[in-house]
Structure 1
Amino acid sequence: MKRLLTAALGGLLALGLAACGTSAAPASAGAEPVSVVLGWYPTAESGGFYAAEEQGLFAQQGLDVDIQPGGPQVSQTQVVASGRADFGLSDATTVANAKATGIPIVAVAALFQENPVGVMVHADSGAQDWKDLAGRTWYVQTGQLGQEWVKRSQGIDFTTAAYNGSIATFVHDDAAVQQGWPTNEAYTAQKEGVQTRFLSYASAGYNPYNDVIFTTEDFLRDNPEKVRSFLDATMRGWSAYMSDTALAEKVNATLQQENPQLDAAANWFAWDAQRQFLTAGDGATALGAMTPARWSTLVDQMTQLGALEPGLDPASLFDTSALPTVPAPTTLPPAP
């Protein structure tokens, strides 16, 4: 959802906003400047970058990293392609669409190994699987490919209504189906006293990488060691953020300073819930991992759904040559 918002708006306003980033620590003498524009405002979803800053991991790699906030008026692909940031975060579909339109970006890591986007229903609604959601009203964003893949792969149909960012209708409609993340909308529903059952689009076979770190083809070609250093510190930061609650407390406090609208309890809920998606599959042995098979499947699915013209080479979308092997933490403690 957030990615659709960011893709819908951009231009000069996006470039101006992205230039207003912040760093979590003073620059080290002689450090090389590097900038990254987040997929959204600072939250637990970007905590690993702030953890790397807090631990001095970027500085150890000789980098002075500027962490720029995203938001609904920031187009990460435009910001990075224009050189206003060296790295950006978005989802794999955005990377594919950008490449198809001639924007020369390339994915270098993927944080969410399992895509957390999906839909939720009331736990007591009787719905157990996708077939049970046929004929219901789905509150979703127009153009979301996940719901279209569900129709195709599960052989069901349903009515859609625009999701405007509020789940108020869902809360009061026991039969409604609500698009969202298990780290965000599920928490909001829980606060409203509604227990939910979540079905990810990944469980229906639509599983594009999410929170993909990308850069330009030129930057990767000209700065392979800088890319490697940035990714090494970033993945170690994510590993520590997921496994060290004392560090996470410091980072979450920083996130609230950077994003005063952030709800502390909601952020801890997201910190806990998101970890299973970061460490799933290949992420268990290498945080940020990407495979040719996953990218090939995505291109094939987007082509089937009419979101891409035939002929896009999946191999042109990603490059793991600078990605170090940083395993996921073996222990994931509960939130304090």
Structure 2
Amino acid sequence: MIPPLLNRALIAGLLAVGMVISPAGAQTTLDKVSFGTNWVAEAEHGGFFQAVADGTYRNYGLDVTIVPGGPNDNNRMLLIAGKLDFFMAANTLMSFDAVANNVPVVSVAAIFQKDPQVFLTHPELKVTKLEDLKPLTLFVSKEGITSYFQWLKSEYGFSEAKVKPYTFNPQPFLADRQSAMQGYVTSEPFAIEKSAGFKPGIILLADYGFNTYSTLIETRREIVDKKPDLVQRFVDASVIGWYHYLYGDNAAGNAMIKQLNPEMTDELLSYSVKKMKEFGIVDSGDTLHNGIGTMTDERAASFFDKMVRAHVVRPDIDFRRAYTLRFVNKGVGLDLRPKNQDK
């Protein structure tokens, strides 16, 4: 009989070399998985880093390497080329575009139920609803013009005549008090508070019908076809990681983020998590019953119709090929959600 202390040491040693012990006592090698994000390490990726740091992926038989993105990286191309197994797609528009261009990738889970895209306003304007933005100068990025702003034009009658280029520099917004600036609810408001000393007003586009999914887990179709068990384990473990990151002790995940991105601060990480919970970015709506990562045909069809009306996507594509519901809506991790969360 192996003494308890020695037994624990043996198990730890096996884990260190990529081995796990199955209930039957057999040794099983962890499946190596690579996952590319679309930006540098930050709280908006927190659940994935948490699942690595706290051993959740290992508990699901996975040895996961996260490959951070950045301004000069294209991890999606690495996925398509077979260099990565999974990729963090920005939103559903990327999925529709893949179908339109016959790119053999598919979304298998949607971590963000709400896109974090917002407009920030000067507090003295007392902007309380989307329509209040119409008279203002709007600082919008090139990517924003071709995506969500087309929806603002078709659904709400916004005009490009009021738009000025947003170059990810807040100074033009700060200098013009009759303006609004695009941003993410999890980061830009914090930056404005720190640099300008005021809390900006926030209009979250998702709350007005811009119902794209965001931060999707994407993989190649061949992996879905040939390794469905691997996909399921990666999705389930990622979901558990997100519950732990939002509602548990996320110190391990944040430590990993800061190690990879030294510019990240504890204050910003805490702010981002707070805003993700406050605005229901990850856990709201369908996730309350189906679990984090959920997707539905109805939601996908609704967003597709809006993007067709806005002339952002072609009406003839088979948008249902952009995703599969095979790996989500199973209620994984619901028991980890605090009972007092009612967002």
Q: Scaled by the length of structure 1, what TM-score is found?
A: 0.86
Three-state SS of the structure 1 residue aligned to 2:97 is helix
Q: CA deviation at 1:107?
A: 0.5
Does structure 2 conserve the Cα–Cα contact (< 8 Å) formed by 1:241 and 1:248? yes
Determine the structure 1 residue equivalent to 2:163: 160
Does structure 2 conserve the Cα–Cα contact (< 8 Å) formed by 1:121 and 1:176? yes
The CA distance in 2 between the partners of 1:254 and 1:189, in whole Å, is 26
Determine the structure 1 residue equivalent to 2:331: 325
The CA distance in 1 between the partners of 2:106 and 2:308, in whole Å, is 19
Determine the structure 2 residue equivalent to 1:206: 210
Does structure 2 conserve the Cα–Cα contact (< 8 Å) formed by 1:220 and 1:227? yes
The CA distance in 1 between the partners of 2:303 and 2:172, in whole Å, is 32
Q: Counterpart amino acid of 2:141?
A: Q
Q: Does 1:288 align with 2:287?
A: no
Q: Does 1:194 align with 2:189?
A: no
Three-state SS of the structure 1 residue aligned to 2:286 is helix
Q: Counterpart amino acid of 2:167?
A: N
**Structure 1: gaps spanning 5 or more residues:** 1-24
Determine the structure 2 residue equivalent to 1:178: 181
Does structure 1 conserve the Cα–Cα contact (< 8 Å) formed by 2:110 and 2:213? yes
The CA distance in 1 between the partners of 2:192 and 2:186, in whole Å, is 11
The CA distance in 2 between the partners of 1:260 and 1:111, in whole Å, is 25
CA RMSD in angstroms, aligned pairs only: 1.8
Three-state SS of the structure 1 residue aligned to 2:63 is strand
Does structure 2 conserve the Cα–Cα contact (< 8 Å) formed by 1:147 and 1:201? no
Determine the structure 2 residue equivalent to 1:299: 304
Closer, same or farther: CA 332–268 of 1 in aligned 2, 3 Å: farther
Does structure 2 conserve the Cα–Cα contact (< 8 Å) formed by 1:183 and 1:274? yes
The CA distance in 2 between the partners of 1:76 and 1:312, in whole Å, is 25
Does structure 1 conserve the Cα–Cα contact (< 8 Å) formed by 2:42 and 2:257? yes
Matches within 5 A, 1:222-233: 222-233=226-237
Q: CA deviation at 1:55?
A: 2.1
Q: CA deviation at 1:80?
A: 1.0
Determine the structure 2 residue equivalent to 1:50: 49
Which of 210, 225, 228 pairs up with 1:221?
225
1:212-252 alpha-carbon deviations (Å, 9 max, x no partner): 111111111110000011111111111011111xx312221
Does structure 1 conserve the Cα–Cα contact (< 8 Å) formed by 2:54 and 2:252? no
The CA distance in 2 between the partners of 1:75 and 1:264, in whole Å, is 27
Q: CA deviation at 1:269?
A: 0.6
Q: CA deviation at 1:297?
A: 1.8
Q: CA deviation at 1:277?
A: 0.8
Three-state SS of the structure 2 residue aligned to 1:281 is coil
Which of 264, 267, 280 pairs up with 1:265?
267
Q: Does 1:250 align with 2:256?
A: no
The CA distance in 2 between the partners of 1:299 and 1:181, in whole Å, is 22
Does structure 2 conserve the Cα–Cα contact (< 8 Å) formed by 1:149 and 1:305? yes
The CA distance in 1 between the partners of 2:275 and 2:135, in whole Å, is 30
Matches within 5 A, 1:135-146: 135-144=135-144, 145-146=147-148
- Identity, % of aligned positions: 26
Does structure 2 conserve the Cα–Cα contact (< 8 Å) formed by 1:77 and 1:98? no
Closer, same or farther: CA 70–332 of 1 in aligned 2, 3 Å: farther
Determine the structure 2 residue equivalent to 1:279: 283
Q: CA deviation at 1:36?
A: 0.5
Q: CA deviation at 1:331?
A: 5.4
Does structure 2 conserve the Cα–Cα contact (< 8 Å) formed by 1:98 and 1:105? yes
Q: CA deviation at 1:204?
A: 2.7
Q: Give the paired residue count.
A: 307
Q: Counterpart amino acid of 2:338?
A: T
**Structure 2: gaps spanning 5 or more residues:** 1-14, 20-28
The CA distance in 1 between the partners of 2:158 and 2:326, in whole Å, is 41
Q: Counterpart amino acid of 1:325?
A: G
The CA distance in 2 between the partners of 1:143 and 1:64, in whole Å, is 35
Matches within 5 A, 1:60-75: 60-75=59-74
Q: CA deviation at 1:332?
A: 7.6
The CA distance in 1 between the partners of 2:236 and 2:204, in whole Å, is 29
Determine the structure 2 residue equivalent to 1:38: 37
Structure ID, larger Rg? 2
Three-state SS of the structure 2 residue aligned to 1:220 is helix
